[in-house]
Amino acid sequence: MAKPFTIENPEALTDALRGLDNIASEPVLRQAAVAGARVFFEEMKVRVPVGIRSYERKGTKIYPGFLREHLLIAYDKDQSVEGRIASYIVTWSRDAFYGRFVEAGTSKMAAQPFLRPSFDTKKTAAADAVDAVLQQKISELTRG
């Protein structure tokens, strides 16, 4: 049988419960998800192969480091659930579409993977970054 209990400060309990709702809000989820994505983004920028020559393709000049400069963090609307899950991906811009060929290789070019190795190396650090944002928000709630 459960022991009866009393709440000495019901307003504080109500405020704390409302605060938990704020922590699980979409802006906080997005901040946490972006923090994790930034960890992967920085690692990928270090690992992405850099070509040795420049060339032009359909009016766009492709130069060494072009792919690195065209990496970006994008909100993944399809994988996100409003108010519950905020999903971000690290990818490349349309101008650097050839990143998929660099990553996976082609029949004429060996693969030079940088996405998967970045993920494998930094997944724990990314989870820690997400956790740090959430812990900061919880700390703000409990102090305020």
pLDDT digits (tens, 9 = 90+) for 50-91: 888 887 877 778 788 889 999 999 999 898 887 677 889 999
Is residue 3 pLDDT above 80, yes or no? no
Residue type, 58: K
Per-residue model confidence (pLDDT) at position 46: 94
CA distance 109 to 5: 70
Residues 6+ away with beta carbon under 8 Å from 131: none
Is residue 116 pLDDT above 70, yes or no? yes
Q: Do the Cβ atoms of 84 and 66 come closer than 8 Å?
A: no
Per-residue model confidence (pLDDT) at position 37: 95
The whole-number average pLDDT for the span 40-49 is 94
Q: What share of the chain has pLDDT > 70, as a percent? A: 81
> Residues 34, 37, 43, 44: what is their CA dihedral angle, to the nearest 10 degrees?
-120
Tell me which residue has tokens 């850099």. 50
Q: List C-alpha distances in Å: 29 to 34, 58, 116, 133.
A: 9, 40, 24, 9
**Predicted TM-score of the model (pTM):** 0.75
Q: Do the Cβ atoms of 78 and 88 come closer than 8 Å?
A: no
